[in-house]
Structure 1
Amino acid sequence: MSGATNKITALYCRLSQEDERLGESLSIENQKTILLEYAKKNHFPNPVFFVDDGYSGTNYDRPGFQSMLVEIEAGRVGIVITKDLSRLGRNSALTGLYTNFTFPQYGVRYIAINDNYDTIDPNSVNNDFAGIKNWFNEFYARDTSRKIRAVQKAKGERGVPLTVNVPYGYVKDPENPKHWLVDPEAAAVVKRIFSMCMEGRGPSQIAKQLQEDKVLTVSAYKQSHGRAAAAISEDPYAWKDSTVVGILERREYTGCTVNFKTYTNSIWDKKQRLNPVENQAVFPNTHERIIDDDVFEKVQEIRSQRHRMTRTGKSSIFSGMVYCADCGSKMQYGSSNNRDFNQDFFDCALHKKNRSKCRGHFIRVKVLEGQVLNHVQRVTDYILCHEDYFRKVMEEQLRVESTEKLTVLKKQLARNEKRIADLKRLFMKIYEDNASGKLSDDRFDMMSQSYDAEQKQLEEEVLSIRQEIEVQEQQIENIEKVIQKAHKYVHIEELTPYALRELVSAIYVDAPDKSSGKRVQHIHIKYDGLGYIPLDELEAKEKA
């Protein structure tokens, strides 16, 4: 026996999900029985269990292990016993660190029963083989991890949802847990959150409104329906900005399954990192949608923009959508100190910084709103009366524009892909030259960094070009969406934030023309998914 009798004998048990599949022999109860019998047989004093049930041996940040470590560092442990070395952990380097350094440092004797490992006898042959056994334990963890990843990858590529937690707004289908059904009550809240975002409200404003309206938070709602074991916070209506953001960014609400959204670097580092969109797998129409695709995409666009508020705390429904027609700069929203809405305006950002680079494109919000509303009314009325002709004209216009853009984009894509292939060959060449001594290490480092930076930039451009090509190829489909929206908003009398965001993507403001003695100012509206609509030409042909 080692150590004073007032010290405890720590009996450590660990069981992971992978170990649990191997049967009863590794169960926590089985380990406890073996450890306690061994302690009694050898008259080890004050046995105390430290248990980690459901924890991987690759990670040492386990509550039971950490509690035992606190007792060891406090000098209250004389002996540590495990069923075998793998129960202590499956990282050969860290397991060796604890058995060879930490435990001896605090005068702790360590025993692994089934491996005949006991630090009281440093000359034991079994102790000499401990390093090899630790390596095999680590290999087992790596091999298990590879198999699990392979299974998950295969499931994910088949479109099986990999997420354990069903998104708020859905529930598991009782007949098929891998299929989701819409939860009407929660789905209504999801729709409301997207609607408020479309109206121009930010996550903090949305969270505040939900709290004021006494809407249960996600966790409180799930627990109220018996779907969560976690305790409700003191305020079940205290929505957080991050929760709102998470809902607004979940593509699953469009009826698709999204797999491989996160990844881990290794079996040792369990931190979840966001996977780039191009590495994710998206499977459309796997469950009923709550949010339409165009609304989801519009919300992502809105969230990528910064809506400027004035010093008085005011903002405009047009914020982030108004641009200078000459220089392309955003026009900034401003208001008068007397809080008179009629004095609110937009002004070219570049003009405000440097008047010599851009003329004034100042426009009152009231004037802008009137012109936009008038144009929307004319467009929706025209489509309602001349739907077939509108479809024919816009299809021809988009076909011409898309053909020209696609030609340019595909040429640029081919150039970029060719250059990326050249860079890969050049890198292999300088690598071989460096290995053979023809190229110095310093020169190799400089050239490889340059090639790497250029390749990353080109790959980002390739991704952007491919996305734009996809957009151009889907242009014809957008005509039908615009026609549907026109039917929805025909005879519109007020320009609401939601209607504006759903119909319009950008507004370009011309400089005022005063040549006639009166101030005349034109705007150009880009409609969402369609671009500019040649309304004047269409109306002129109708009259002719």
Structure 2
Amino acid sequence: MNEFSLENARSVALYCRVSTDEQAREGVSLDEQQDRLKAYCRAMGWDEIPLLFIDDGYSAKNLDRPQLNKLLKEVDKGTISRILVTKLDRLSRRLLDLLKLIDTFQDHKVSFISISESFDTNTPSGRLTLQVLGAVAEFERERIRERVFDNMLHAANQGKWLTQSPYGYDLINKELVINDTESKVVKRVFDLYLQKGFGYYSIAKQLNEEGIPSKQKKEWSIRSIKLMLTNPVYKGTLVWNRIDRSNQKQVEKDDEEWVVVEHALPLIIDEHTWEAVQKKIPGKKIHPRSKTSPHLLGGLLKCGRCCAAMSISWMGPKTKRRRVYRCSANKNKGTCTSKWYNASDVESWFKRGLQQLSKSINQSYVIMIASQVKEEEKREIQQQIHSAKNRYKRKVEAYTAGLIELKDLQAEKDRMERLVEEAKNRESTTSVNTSELEDKVNKKIATVIDAIDNLPVVEAKSLVQTLVEKVVLYEEKNIEIVLLNPS
């Protein structure tokens, strides 16, 4: 690009642009654009050397382009008299953006010339032509966008993968194929979260320490682990059209606009495990620091007097400091009269409480848990019925728009009716084996007790959090242990 100094005379500016998908297209190369614009200047008798502003590899969908921004700064300084482009769409494909730019040019007495369309915005006829051409260009772009969307919608309904392959898969001929090495990591992440009680941070840290890279060969983060655990692709479900990316800020669309195709992809995680993880994700809120603190009951222990959280404090001189659990309302506000308790004693009472609990799981407790399991099963069934009906509704809309055949619509109707019938049958026959449930609870308690005795505190604590919802401390040796639903 030519370097220039800003002298007294106003200059002619030549603006050229190509986007990456236009590089090989005949007639729009940067060299050809420059040659045509310079020839036009010679034909008009403009002898001064024009200034070049070239955006190589930038789309016309928005105005955030380096050389266009530089050109606008020069316009604002008053150094430009005319701006030339080979075609209207070199500057912008959106009518509103074009009009905004031209208003700016007019304010600074700069004419805008498109040599292919043969008009100059200094004339009324040129401005009228510009608006008509801009409207036609925008209309055509919208038509292209609609055709692309319709084609992608059809491909998604056929189970074709339309974007970059997620971790655990390779993309071959627009179809996902399981990557054996990565899929083992996916299974491990789900196991660490569901069975070992690790949080997003702890999982990311462990994978990074072991040198396991992400799909983009970067380190794992809290966000990437959460996205993996919530991605339905791993249970074989294709979801498309979930995010609106038409603006700079991405927004999640209403779920009725999503394209959801069940059992369309090779699964890595069975549906039961995936659903169990989803139930756990929005569960009890534990502060991130509490999850990884080296204190067994951090984030779980509550005051029996005021129900506030009890956190670790340190008592005594520096040479003989000892850990204590102290009511946060007492410590921070003075509104609770609860005393502090030696942390090792509290953790010992908790362990003994678990041991006693494993010997005294009574029938009424198991029946209560069984009732909760049945309610969750019922909610899950109702959700499946709702999803089946929504899928059919989207198929009706696709048929109305001419995107699918009548036979495809009928097949979806039959599928919906079958799924609804199966779900209703499950709802009427759902039962819980209380003996099996009692055995499951006892085994989980035994595993946690063993972890407390043999594992580092942070790892033992992760397992405790898969079993215990909260621990309430009333007074010395008087604690209540509230278990999570074991389903």
| TM-score of Structure 1 vs Structure 2, range by shorter chain | 0.5 to 0.7
Deviations 1:183-217 (A, max 9, x none): 51585278358727975665555555555555546
Shift of 1:299: 5.3
Q: Give the SS at the match of 1:220.
A: coil
Q: Which residue of 2 aligns with 1:117?
A: 119
Contact 1:260 1:281 survives alignment (8 Å): yes
**Would you say the 8 A contact 1:24–1:30 is kept in 2?**
no
Distance (whole Å) between structure 2 residues aligned to residue 134 and residue 262 of structure 1? 28
1:370 is aligned to 352
CA RMSD after TM alignment: 5.4
The question of whether the paired residues in 2 share the 8 Å contact of 1:398 and 1:475 is answered with no
In 1, are the aligned partners of 2:113 and 2:119 still within 8 Å (CA)? Answer: yes
Q: Measure the CA separation in 1 of the matches of 2:463 and 2:223.
A: 26
Q: CA deviation at 1:113?
A: 1.6
Relative to structure 1, is the Cα distance of residues 193 and 521 closer, same or farther in structure 2, using a 3 angstrom cutoff? closer
Question: In the TM superposition, what whole-angstrom CA distance separates every residue of 1:313-349 from its partner, at most 9, and x where no partner exists?
Answer: 945454455668999x564343543699996548697
Q: Structure 2: how far apart are the matches of 1:520 and 1:166?
A: 53
| In 2, Cα distance between equivalents of 1:523 and 1:144 | 62
Check the 8 A contact 1:10/1:80 in 2, yes or no.
yes
**Structure 1 residues 399 and 156: alpha-carbon distance in aligned structure 2, compared to 1, 3 A threshold:** same
Cα-to-partner distance string for 1:149-202 (whole Å, 9 max, x where unaligned): 44444444554444x232234332x3x333142351585278358727975665
Partner of 1:527: helix, strand, or coil? coil
Q: How does 1:309-348 map to 2 (within 5 A)?
A: 309=290, 314-321=293-300, 329=307, 331-337=309-315, 345=325
Aligned to 2:251: 273
Report what 2:87 is aligned to.
84
Give the aligned partner of residue 452 of structure 1. none
Alignment CA distance shift 1:51-1:171 (3 Å): same
Name the CA distance, whole Å, in 1 between partners of 2:357 and 2:298.
Answer: 19
1:289 paired with 2:260, answer no
| Cα displacement (A) at 1:115 | 1.8
Alignment-mate amino acid for residue 17 of structure 2: C
Partners of 1:280 and 1:476 lie apart in 2 by: 33
Partner Cα separation in structure 2 for residue 252 and residue 341 of structure 1:
51
Q: How many residues were matched structurally?
A: 418
- Matched residue of 2:59: which SS? coil
Q: Does 1:261 align with 2:242?
A: yes
Who is 1:144 aligned against?
A: 144
Partner deviation per Cα, 1:202-236 (whole Å, 9 max, x = no partner):
55555555555555465335xxxxxxxxxxxxxxx
* CA distance, structure 2, for counterparts of residue 118 and residue 494 of structure 1: 80
Contact 2:238 / 2:262 at 8 angstroms: preserved in 1?
yes
User: Deviation at 1:250?
Assistant: 3.7
The reply to whether residue 38 of structure 1 matches residue 40 of structure 2 is yes
Q: TM-score, normalised by structure 1?
A: 0.58
After superposition, the Cα gap between the structure-2 partners of 1:128 and 1:73, relative to the gap in structure 1 and judged at 3 Å, is same
Question: CA 1:53/1:402 → structure 2, altered by over 3 Å: closer, same or farther?
Answer: same
> Contact 2:327–2:339 at 8 Å: present in 1 too?
no
Q: Deviations over 1:231-261 (max 9, x none)?
A: xxxxxx6x55444444454444444333333
Where 2:138 maps in the other structure, the secondary structure is helix
Q: Which residue of 1 aligns with 2:170?
A: 171
1:494 and 2:472 matched: no
**One-letter identity of the residue aligned with 2:136:** F
CA distance, structure 2, for counterparts of residue 105 and residue 374 of structure 1 = 83
Note the 1:380-419 alignment, pairs <5 A. 398=370, 402=374
Give me the whole-angstrom Cα distance separating, in 1, the residues matched to 2:81 and 2:347: 78
Note if contact 1:103-1:110 (Cα within 8 Å) is conserved in structure 2. Answer: yes
Task: Kindly state the Cα deviation for residue 87 of structure 1 after the two structures are TM-superposed.
Answer: 2.7
Q: Which residue, out of 270, 286, 302, partners 1:305? A: 286
Q: Distance between the aligned counterparts of 1:375 and 1:369, measured in 2?
A: 10
1:13 aligned partner, one-letter code: R
SS of residue paired to 1:365: helix
**8 A Cα contact 1:343 1:364, kept in partner:** no
CA distance in 2, matches of 1:146, 1:81: 31
Question: Match of 1:10, as an amino acid?
Answer: L
User: Secondary structure of the residue that 2:141 maps to in structure 1?
Assistant: helix
For the 8 Å contact 1:84–1:112, the answer to whether it is kept is yes
Q: Secondary structure at the match of 2:116?
A: helix
By how many angstroms is 1:527 displaced? 3.2
Residue 188, structure 1, aligned to residue 185, structure 2: yes
Q: Do the aligned residues in 1 keep the contact of 2:312 with 2:326 (CA within 8 Å)?
A: yes
Other structure's SS at 2:351 match? helix
Q: Which runs of 5+ in 1 are unaligned?
A: 222-236, 383-389, 411-468, 530-544
Q: Give yes or no for contact 2:350–2:479 (8 Å, CA) kept in 1.
A: no
CA–CA distance in structure 2, aligned partners of residues 344 and 9 of structure 1: 74
SS at match of 2:143: helix
Q: Within 2, Cα distance between the matches of 1:200 and 1:404?
A: 21
* Alignment partners' CA distance in 2, 1:478 and 1:320: 32
- Report the counterpart of residue 130 of structure 1 in structure 2: 130
In 2, Cα distance between equivalents of 1:293 and 1:481:
22
With structure 2 as the length reference, what TM-score do the two structures score? Answer: 0.63
* 1:429 alignment counterpart: none
Judge conservation of contact 1:77–1:108 (CA < 8 Å) in 2: yes
1:78-131: CA deviations, max 9, x gaps?
4322233233223323312322x3224445332112221113x525x3433322
Q: Does the CA-based 8 Å contact 2:441-2:486 persist in structure 1?
A: no
Distance 1:75 1:16 in 2: 32
Shift of 1:367: 1.6
Q: Is the CA contact (8 Å cut-off) linking 1:193 and 1:244 kept in structure 2?
A: no
Corresponding residue for 2:68? 65
SS where residue 287 of structure 1 aligns?
A: coil
